[in-house]
Structure formats: C-alpha cells, structure tokens
A and B are shown apart, each in its own frame.
Chain A
C-alpha cells in the first residue's frame, strides 16, 4: 500500500515535470548534445560539469584569455547560474587559463549547418 502510494507520487511528480519542461526546437541541438571535447587535465571534469549545462566545449576551445579575463568570465557565469563549488573555482580557472590562454591556436571545426 505504502509502496503503491510512493509510486503514485513519483508518477505524478514525473508528469508535472514533463508538463513544465519547455519543448525546445527539435531541429536544433539540445542541451548536453556532445560536441567536441575538452583537453585532458586537472580541472576538466569540474569544467565540463559546470559549463556544459548551457554551451558546448566549442565556446571554450576558441577563447584566448588571460587568467584575469578567465576569472571575470567564470564569475560572470556563476552570476548567470553556473554551479561551481567554491573549492573548484580556482581549479576551473587554472584549467581554462592553461588550455585557452593568449597562445591558444584555435581553428573552428567544419560542420554541416543545423537542419540540413
């Protein structure tokens, strides 16, 4: 009986969530679609966890920022809702500054456009 009630509640919750979730345009890539990857290294996991919620790796791969600029960028993203634990913040900034600093040589990936 108790078990059935729990199941019923879970089902109702799921239904409510499904109703609330916006239906994004199916012909455009949705959040979390795998596009490229970030280079290996300390801080990669934390960066992926914090940043893939809103954009793909491409947006980070192309930047050529100083550590000061990366600090400002990460702080802006945290204000916009990026979830980075206090302890992880310096790790993420160091990772970004090491890999995507002023010397970064970026060549964008060639792709087919969306929807074709």
Chain B
C-alpha cells in the first residue's frame, strides 16, 4: 500500500495491484478522517432516532436477525485522482488507487429503519460514526438522501466474506452502491432520519462539485455547486507492458465503473483518441460493481506509444478527455493514458 497519512490512516492501492474482480481486503484503500473509538461489541448499539415513530437501539445480534443481503460494488473516494488536477490542490494527494470493488454483506437500511417507522417528514438520513475529532476540527457528520438510502443502501458487517476490518468501519458501515465514498460512513453508531440535510463543514464546504465546468484554478461559489453523489464513468489501465516490439501482440488490462448500474463498453486508442477499438469485457458483473476488461494491442511502429482508455456506461455517458477542475479535487475521471516504449 502507499501511505498517504499515518494517523488517521489514509492509504491507497498501487494501481498495478488492482487486477482482481474482488479487491482483497488487505489491498483495499483506506480513508479515515479521524480515529474511531474501540467499540465494546457486547455493549455496542446502533441508535435510530429523529423523524421516526419509535426510536430504537439495536445490538449486532438484533441486526443479524434481520434478512441478510449482499451487494458487490465499487467504493471510490470522492477525492481519488486529486493529485492529477492542475492547478495543484491541498488535501490527500490520491492518484489512482483510492478505489476498490468488494462484496458487502449485511442488512438493508430500509429494513432497519422500518423497525423505527420513518415519518413522511424525513427526507435525509443523518449518519454518525464513533470517530469524533479532536479540538475544533469539524466532526465528519454526513447525511445521504433518504430515497437513495431506502432504495439500495445496506449496513455492512462483512467485507469479502470476513468480518468488516477495523480500518473499513467495524462493526458496521454504510454501503451506498454507485455513490462516492463520502456517503459510506464507517464505525456507525447512530442513524437519524431528518427533514433537512446535515449541516457543517463536511456537507456545506466539502464534498461539493460544480454544476457547470469553469476555468481551471478559479474557485466555484457555493451556489455554483451541489453535493457529490453518483460516481462518474471511469476506467483505468492496471496492466500494460513497459516496453514492446512493433508487430507483437500484448495484453492490456484494467477496470471500468460508473455511478450508472453498468458499463456498456470500454475502448482503447493509441492515436490520441482519433480512433477507438473496443476492449473485451469480463463476464463477471453486477450493478455498480466494476467491470474488468482486456485488450489485445499490437504496436505498429517504433517510438513512444501513448495508449489511452475510455469507458461508456449504461446511460450512454462517455468518459471525458479532461476532468472538470474543482477546488477540492473531486471525481477525477479523465482518460487514463500509459506510455509504452516500442522498438522496431
């Protein structure tokens, strides 16, 4: 792993290791805003309060009595790729590896909220973890639109078939298929349906994205932005030769994902995007999971070949040549390019 911060832990996965359909837990990127308190599992409770008929407090055993559900989907940090924007931005300098695909197992948010009875007045689900920050640091309090949470979000206690690891939010985290990681609250202790969205730094200043592209380097005003929600269509190359011989065929591989349920196609170009050739999509897929792809590439002539990849999702959105610069460096999804030295 590549260490971006020692405490609270932030670490990204080297791109060349992201070759599995399910990213192994020990290689899965970690993003923390602060250090959680150790839960005493026998006393740990998830409280559900707010705009509900009867507030409830649930133990892990209570949650395990609810119907089990499973979803395989991508988790990507909203700031993945921040380091690739120019002008340069402050913040964790994620490049490519703050993303992974895992099988999450737990219970539906819908089933848990039903136990408390959500009132019609509720429109946002407020989320609280146990990572209260020190001094005057704003707490990482967030909310997610209730409609999305009720539709397909889950409360996961397992990741890839094992107990959710501490750094991934044990004992319970939110999984929001297709949406950026800022919604996937870890170390959950409280859910609270409310009429209004959560306030504070991590809602009103951070995690906002421009409604329209602007000039790179010019900060957008608050009213020109809206919250980051769905992921953008994106693909990356994980495997490619560093050196190649003209006329010989090589495998180029990678992954593609989107906030739309599926990837429609992945294309590769080696002439600066003038012509594109379709890559082969791997058979394994599931809504909001990533799609592995492979491409048989034969360099034509000696020189530096620049190979680039772009994905198109099931809603016909095409990955753009350039990403929209924004002052927090969110949702970078420009074409990924790799340079390969070709000899005659």
Seen from chain A, the residues whose Cβ lies within 8 Å of a Cβ on chain B are: 22-33, 35-36, 53-59, 62-65, 69, 72-73, 79-82, 102, 106, 108-116
From B4, B7, B88, B137, give the contact of A108 (CB < 8 A).
B4
**What CA separation (Å) do A71 and B3 show in the bound complex?**
25
If A108-B12, A114-B11 touch, whether A36 touches B35 (CB-CB below 8 Å) is no
When the two chains form their complex, are residues B92 and A113 in contact, meaning their CB atoms are under 8 A apart?
A: no
Q: Specify the chain B residue showing the minimal Cβ separation from A116.
A: B26
Number of residues of chain B lying within 8 A (CB) of chain A: 36
The 6 closest A-B pairs by CB, nearest first: A81-B135, A35-B6, A56-B6, A108-B2, A81-B136, A62-B93
When the two chains form their complex, are residues A80 and B136 in contact, meaning their CB atoms are under 8 A apart?
A: yes
If A65-B88, A115-B167 touch, whether A81 touches B30 (CB-CB below 8 Å) is no
When the two chains form their complex, are residues B166 and A115 in contact, meaning their CB atoms are under 8 A apart?
A: yes
Number of A-B contacts (CB under 8 A): 118
Seen from chain B, the residues whose Cβ lies within 8 Å of a Cβ on chain A are: 1-12, 14, 26-27, 30, 32, 35-38, 83, 88, 90, 92-93, 132-138, 165-167
Q: Would you mind naming 28 contact pairs between A and B with Cβ atoms under 8 Å apart?
A: A25-B38, A28-B9, A29-B6, A29-B7, A30-B7, A31-B7, A31-B35, A54-B133, A54-B135, A55-B8, A58-B3, A58-B4, A58-B6, A64-B88, A73-B90, A80-B137, A81-B134, A108-B3, A108-B12, A109-B3, A110-B3, A111-B1, A111-B2, A112-B1, A113-B26, A114-B11, A114-B30, A115-B167
How far, in Å, is B164 (CB) from chain A's closest CB?
A: 11
